[in-house]
Homo-oligomer: A and B are copies of this chain.
């Protein structure tokens, strides 16, 4: 999950009121914001500072990000004309700042760096809804009622996302994460028919790069087997599904590694609550190989930074360090 964020005072100081997409276009700030969390916490990897809307903005989608609300797309994409304007991403020309940011991070970083992109359903949902929504109803409606338009939209998004991920790996990212955060709005049948093929073509397109892929969504209890079939070396599980239950549903450790899944809201409670809940996650992974400890979703802005650092140490104390 994103490590940089408003819960860190040094992040708030550096970011100020500057637009987040503008910050993402500044390689020095990208590098600094990526590295900040590692200066105070003993995490095992860095997560690139960026935003899932960056590649869409880079191909000309009129997107802005409003603090406290999320991404807003002033001209939602709801028809063939809108879709036809989504051109493929040419990374060196369109997102040079991301790649330069990665190269700057690589110079300083002695740990793995995780790059990322939004998943195709999630990006489609922002494009179709024009902003965040509770259950992506308009997107689901388009998916169900206009399969041809949906196919064009998803293909166009693959043409943005795959080059973006490949270029991040090329610039020095050691692992990649695909955040199909809102895919959990779908029933498995619909996901299998209307999202899985496109995600799989992204996964297939990363073949041969030797960069592991983490595949994550929120509220995906029912979707875990489908998401695993779509692809990813590691499947992220949100806090709603007990880690062992989710792991069994995917097919167990023989099938795939998992990432997760402490409820981020836990970190707003006292340390003994955090400790008990973290141990519960570790217990659910005990005696299995291939667990990446993480939160079940992003760090909440009200989280005390000290608690995050203490959690990292606790997990290290109670588990074997990765090689």
Binding site for B on A (CB under 8 A): 132, 134-135, 137-138, 140-141, 143-145, 184-190, 218-219, 221-222, 239-242, 245, 263-266, 268-270, 273, 277, 280, 297, 300, 302
Contact = CB atoms under 8 A, between A and B. Distances in A.
A268 to B, nearest CB: 4
Contacts of A221: 221-222, 241
A242 B186 contact: no
A273 B187 contact: no
B280 A189 contact: yes
Contact of A263 (B138, B187, B269): B187
A81 B137 CA distance: 38
A265 B222 contact: no
Contacts of A141: 265, 268-269, 300, 302
Copies in the complex: 2
A270 B137 contact: no
A295 to B, nearest CB: 12
Given A144-B273, A242-B189, A268-B144, A300 B137 contact: yes
Contacts of A222: 221, 240-242, 245
Given A140-B265, A222-B245, A186 B145 contact: no
B219 A184 contact: yes
Contacts of A135: 218, 297
A97 B273 CA distance: 44
A134 B137 contact: no
Contacts of A186: 240
Contacts of A268: 137, 141, 144-145
A280 B189 CA distance: 10
Nearest to A191: B240
A268 B139 CA distance: 11
Give the interface centre of A143, A186, A190, A265 by most chain B CB atoms within 10 Å: A265
25 contacts: A132-B134, A135-B218, A135-B297, A137-B300, A138-B302, A140-B263, A140-B265, A141-B269, A141-B300, A141-B302, A143-B265, A144-B263, A144-B265, A145-B268, A145-B269, A145-B270, A184-B219, A187-B241, A187-B242, A187-B263, A189-B242, A189-B280, A221-B222, A222-B242, A222-B245
